[in-house]
């Protein structure tokens, strides 16, 4: 129990600021549409809402149950949901949002590459069809995750750990039978697309090329590293499902999931001076200026 409390408090140290920053960046983008009027920021806002939903589902299913003892304050909440809500919805969403996250990462990578190749051609296409593509990205995983609704999910108490957990009748290998290959293919594809973008950036003949390359390499390395780590841990968890190592790997997955879920606003703030200035203005720390805000298309569009 104490280990679970330490894990929860540690996660709050980075998740609370990250959720707050996500809210601030999304609000800033929506409020300053003239500055952030591009397909990339439409995708960022969509990705933000999906990631926040993923985070709170994980918080409810994993974090809070691990510190809920037999007669703790949260027990009535879980019992109410267990008795009045289809709990397999949470099981389905835990896998469904993995599809959505990996797909969205690949989608944003393709967006950056296509706009980098030909802004005038591809940016209008992305603007016109972005919301339809987002709907498809969210809807298509139901082709697999609908299977979760066929199995019962219950909130069960473990006397040994004095905590609750979501237990589904669906075997772990069955839940990952399609998800694992998908994660591997999409992760590799994202890396290839980002490498292609980096190669394309090397041929840019602009004064900002050095800064653009540095920013792009950093974003690419962080995003791909977290995504690949999550993929590797998921594959290992399934491969060693009959071994005690599966439980160890499972304890790391929430942190990796948090990394993939909450890193985006930090990357945007770190690598976009425009976003930093606009946030300061929105929060009242800096007065608006008459200068022109420059957004590097290959990185932030």
Per-residue pLDDT at 135 exceeds 90:
yes
Residue among 277, 259, 257, 255 nearest 267 (CA)? 259
What's the distance, CA 114 to chain centroid? Answer: 22
Quick: pLDDT tens for 32-54: 988 888 888 999 999 999 999 99
Whole-prediction pTM value? 0.86
Please, what is the Cα angle at 268 between 264 and 274, to 5 degrees? 160
Quick: pLDDT tens for 75-130: 888 888 887 778 889 889 989 999 999 999 899 889 888 888 888 899 999 999 98
Q: 183: alpha, beta or left, given left = phi > 0 and alpha = psi -120 to 50?
A: alpha
Q: Looking at the domain 2-300, which fold is it?
A: Rhopdopsin 7-helix transmembrane proteins (1.20.1070)
Q: What is the pLDDT of residue 16?
A: 96
Q: What is the pLDDT of residue 246?
A: 66
Q: Are 253 and 172 in contact (CB under 8 A)?
A: no
Domain boundaries, the chain: 2-300
Q: Are 199 and 134 in contact (CB under 8 A)?
A: no
């Amino acid at each position: 129990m104490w280990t679970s409390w330490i894990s929860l408090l540690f996660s709050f140290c980075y998740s609370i600021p990250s959720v707050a920053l996500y809210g601030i960046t999304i609000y800033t983008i929506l409020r300053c549409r003239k500055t952030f009027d591009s397909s990339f920021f439409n995708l960022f806002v969509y990705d933000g809402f999906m990631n926040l939903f993923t985070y709170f589902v994980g918080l409810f299913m994993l974090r809070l149950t691990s510190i809920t003892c037999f007669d703790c304050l949260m027990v009535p909440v879980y019992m109410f949901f267990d008795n009045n809500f289809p709990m397999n919805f949470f099981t389905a969403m835990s896998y469904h949002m993995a599809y959505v996250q990996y797909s969205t990462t690949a989608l944003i990578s393709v967006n950056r590459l296509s706009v980098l190749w030909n802004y005038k051609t591809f940016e209008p296409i992305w603007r016109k069809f972005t919301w339809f593509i987002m709907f498809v990205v969210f809807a298509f995983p139901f082709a697999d995750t609908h299977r979760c609704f066929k199995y019962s999910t219950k909130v069960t108490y473990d006397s040994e750990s004095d905590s609750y957990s979501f237990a589904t009748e669906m075997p772990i290998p069955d839940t990952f039978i399609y998800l694992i290959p998908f994660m591997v293919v999409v992760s590799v594809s994202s890396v290839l697309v980002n490498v292609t973008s980096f190669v394309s950036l090397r041929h840019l003949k602009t004064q900002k090329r050095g800064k653009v390359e540095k920013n792009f390499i950093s974003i690419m390395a962080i995003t791909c590293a977290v995504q690949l780590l999550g993929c590797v841990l998921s594959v290992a968890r399934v491969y060693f499902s009959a071994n005690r190592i599966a439980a160890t790997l499972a304890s790391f997955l929430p942190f990796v999931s948090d990394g993939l879920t909450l890193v985006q606003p930090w990357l945007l703030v770190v690598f976009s001076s425009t976003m930093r200035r606009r946030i300061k203005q929105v929060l009242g720390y800096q007065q608006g200026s008459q200068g022109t805000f420059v957004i590097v298309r290959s990185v932030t569009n």
